[in-house]
Amino acid sequence: MQPVRHPDAPAPGELLGAHYGQCFGCGGDQPHGLHLEARAGEGVSLTAEFTVQPAHQGAPGLAHGGVLASALDETLGSLNWLLRTIAVTGRLETDFVRPVPVGTTLHLEAEVTAVAGRKIYSTATGRVGGPDGPVAVRADALFIEVKVDHFVDHGRQEEIQAAMSDPDQIRRTRAFEVNP
Ligand SMILES: CCCCCCCCCC(=O)SCCNC(=O)CCNC(=O)[C@H](O)C(C)(C)COP(=O)(O)OP(=O)(O)OC[C@H]1O[C@@H](n2cnc3c(N)ncnc32)[C@H](O)[C@@H]1OP(=O)(O)O
């Protein structure tokens, strides 16, 4: 089935913001996190940027492959906010096409290609040198829709309690990406 953009999804061009301050991918409270910033696109698509920091190295001066996969995972996961579906990554298949030096800004774009029951299929690319530059990484993913219980049942109680008692209703909602 074709994916359906939620009527309350942020308008094209709007920043999505962090879903959780402690998230390694997008949180502002993680000193060594990716601080990835995603912006809604048309349909069920988005763009995102992430600049590789010294803390993200694998080989000297180059981004760690796992960190690049994290950037793709976070970008693809952010698509759920446009569907207003709670989902987790079940499968992430990544191609590393070019090495990415520290200091590089990765220009990511992602879209949901199909939805089948609980399964959400999506794809993403990361380009260097600008949004139209050469592809450095790409990924295809399968996200699986879950209930909010997935996080409540499996997350460490300390963080679950802190997130659930956040007085900011939007932050509380977005920590679990709950359909409001
Ligand atoms: C809070 C919001 C976050 C927003 C942004 C964050 C971005 C980052 C996103 C992440 O990184 S999430 C963290 C990484 N992922 C996980 O920790 C998930 C761990 N895995 C699980 O909890 C379970 O395996 C999972 C919920 C994914 C599936 O278990 P279920 O028991 O609910 O599903 P089930 O096994 O019944 O499978 C449902 C369907 O999906 C298919 N499926 C599940 N896992 C699959 C897989 N790995 N590959 C292919 N197909 C898979 C499965 O075959 C089946 O297909 P059919 O309906 O056609 O039979």
Could you tell me the distance, in angstroms and rounded to a whole number, from the CA of residue 1 to the centre of ligand 1?
19
Model's pTM, two decimal places? 0.96
Residue 101: domain span: 37-175
Cα dihedral across residues 16, 146, 44, 104: positive or negative:
positive
Place of tokens 């070019």: 98
Beta-bridge mates of residue 94 = 139
Domain holding 91: CATH number? 3.10.129.10
- The residue-averaged pLDDT of 95-106 equals 98
pLDDT score for 180: 39
Nearest to 75 by CA among 100, 96, 56, 92: 92
* Residue 11 maps to a domain: no
Amino acid at 88: V
Checking if the pLDDT of 179 tops 70, the result is no
Could you tell me the distance, in angstroms and rounded to a whole number, from the CA of residue 124 to the centre of ligand 1?
18
* Residue 83 maps to a domain: yes
Largest CA distance in the chain: 45
Could you tell me the distance, in angstroms and rounded to a whole number, from the CA of residue 155 to the centre of ligand 1?
15
Nearest to 91 by CA among 68, 69, 113: 69
* Residue 102 maps to a domain: yes
pLDDT score for 62: 98
Q: Is 118 in the pocket of ligand 1 (CB under 6 A)?
A: yes
Total number of domains in the chain: 1
Q: Is 117 in the pocket of ligand 1 (CB under 6 A)?
A: yes
Tell the residue nearest (CA) to atom 53 of ligand 1.
Answer: 119
Q: Percent of the chain scored above 90 by pLDDT?
A: 89
CB count within 10 Å of CB 104 equals 19
* Residue 7 maps to a domain: no
Tell the residue nearest (CA) to atom 51 of ligand 1.
Answer: 90
Nearest to 40 by CA among 70, 83, 98, 102: 83
Q: Give the Cα separation of 8 and 24 in Å (integer).
A: 26
pLDDT score for 156: 96
- Token pair listed for 40: 């809604």
Q: Percent of the chain scored above 70 by pLDDT?
A: 98
